[in-house]
Amino acid sequence: MKNKIKYCLTSVLFLVLVTNFVNAQSDDQCFKCHIDLDDVKANLYKADIHHLKGISCAACHGGDAASDDMDIAMSEEKGFIGVPSKENRYQVCTNCHSDVDKMKRFGSNLPTDQFEKLKISVHFQPSYDNKGPMADCITCHSVHDIKKVNDPASRVYPTRITELCGSCHSSAEFMKLYNPALPIDQVAKYRTSVHGNLNAKGDPNAAECASCHGSHEIQPVKDSRSLVYATNIPSVCANCHSDAKLMAKYKIPTDQYENYVSSVHGVALLEKGDLSSPSCNDCHGNHGAVPPGVESISKVCGTCHVLNMELFEQSPHKKAFDENDFPECESCHGNHLVKQATDAMVGTRKPSVCIECHSAEDDNKGFLIAGEMKELIDSLKTKDSETKIILDEAVQKGMDVSDADFSLKDVRQVLIQSRTTIHAFDLDKFKEQIDEGFIIVNKAKISGEEAIDEFYFRRIGLGISTILVTLLVIGLYIKLKKVEKKS
């Protein structure tokens, strides 16, 4: 019984809504007249979301939509404005879309802050001819054939939005009016990307222009408010790539962002604010985003780490990695979770990465070289520490060893250079580099030891001098006593 009552009430409510909608449609004499005239715009408006919601032509153009008298319907007294001017046509949209009550009245849950966002965006800057903003609501959403955003026929539907953005951003003639330096090949690059290929196949989940740049709130790339500002990019990419449900379809792991933020690159960018540190797009590309292939990883890393790349390409590992189809830098350093490189990565004991391929059982030359390199690094670091202790002792004793102490800074530089030279995996070249450090540290150590010896030499000399002076004073004293007795 309750279900029947519920069904009846629902049916009545539905009939009331339909009746009101039909009445609203029939009351729109503007639309009826223009349809009778087979007007192109009226025919487009038949499928427009606003018409389907019962919004008459007069809502935008003004006038009296209930009157079938043209003079009355289009009179200024009735508020008829005709075609809104380009300068302020957006105000027609904001009359409803910025009004919470009106939007609720039409059963819409759309946010009402779109215009507030648009006002501070790059697109709302004045157009070159000062006829309204650079882009407004109509520029993107159209006029009489506006569809819901989630309607595949909408101009701003994910699979169509690239074409829309490209209508301006791919035009050299148009872009030179605003920013001639901005490249106009973004859409072409996008079509070569993983995202672009999926988008072209009709996948609405693949990232497109608005996914990364935003929609109403778009800012210049170098503006810190921009979604694609360097420090914001990781979280923008994570919107999709950390979504396990979404990524399951593409069989892509979702821990990249988590790994990146704790990596040496992520810490430098997000915690230290180093804008030169790479983010997602620096390695994967932005508009042409494609994961680097095995053969190109070193080239991608080499855009920043140039010397390391050059040394590796001269190394025996280069040929071996190519033959086995190993990713180069990534094999030892990882990809998203790149940690600060340490000396522990080299050698013949865990956590060395060398032993992942080389072992003592095979009498492996690489294993022996890795061990010798690690031993030389540790030895230089030990000698450097011991020398520092000797120099500190000399300073405490009041000896000037500033030159020797300053020279130890060069040892640290040699260690940095030696760690870089490791990428060549050439023991002779490595020894040549690190031997400079041993020469410096040995000289500094000798200087420290000589300073300490000099300190003790001075102490002994001072002691002997003190004894001799004391004996001389005593002798003089005795002599004076004898002189006094004779007198």
What residues does each domain of the chain span? 1-83, 377-486
pLDDT at 22: 39
Q: What is the pLDDT along the chain (487 residues), one digit of tens a residue?
A: 445 444 444 443 333 333 333 344 447 999 999 999 999 999 999 999 999 999 999 999 999 999 999 999 999 999 999 999 999 999 999 999 999 999 999 999 999 999 999 999 999 999 999 999 999 999 999 999 999 999 999 999 999 999 999 999 999 999 999 999 999 999 999 999 999 999 999 999 999 999 999 999 999 999 999 999 999 999 999 999 999 999 999 999 999 999 999 999 999 999 999 999 999 999 999 999 998 888 889 899 999 999 999 999 999 999 999 999 999 999 999 999 999 999 999 999 999 999 999 988 866 789 999 999 999 999 999 999 999 999 999 999 999 999 999 999 999 999 999 999 999 999 999 999 999 999 999 999 999 999 999 999 988 888 888 898 998 898 888 888 788 777 6
Can you tell me the distance from the alpha carbon of 348 to that of 357, in angstroms, rounded to the nearest whole number? 11
pLDDT at 208: 97
Instruction: Give the list of residues 6+ apart from residue 140 with CB closer than 8 angstroms, or none.
Output: 155, 156, 164
Can you tell me the distance from the alpha carbon of 280 to that of 336, in angstroms, rounded to the nearest whole number? 9
Can you tell me the distance from the alpha carbon of 358 to that of 335, in angstroms, rounded to the nearest whole number? 22
Contacts 24+ apart (CB under 8 A), 407-412: 407/440, 407/443, 407/444, 408/384, 408/440, 408/441, 408/444, 410/436, 410/437, 410/440, 411/380, 411/384, 411/437, 411/440, 411/441, 411/444, 412/384
Which three-class secondary structure state does DSSP give residue 133? strand
Q: Counting runs of H as helices and runs of E as strands, what totals does the chain give? A: 27, 0
Question: How many angstroms from the chain centroid is the CA of residue 484?
Answer: 97
Can you tell me the distance from the alpha carbon of 75 to that of 78, in angstroms, rounded to the nearest whole number? 5
Can you tell me the distance from the alpha carbon of 227 to that of 217, in angstroms, rounded to the nearest whole number? 9
Core vs surface per residue 262-280: b (16+ CB within 10 A) or e: ebebbbbbbeeeeeebbbb
Contact 285, 301 (CB under 8 A): no
End-to-end CA, the chain: 149
Residue whose pair of structure tokens reads 């697109």 in the numeric block: 123
pTM: 0.82
Core vs surface per residue 169-188: b (16+ CB within 10 A) or e: bbeeeebeeeeeeeebebbe
Which three-class secondary structure state does DSSP give residue 415? helix
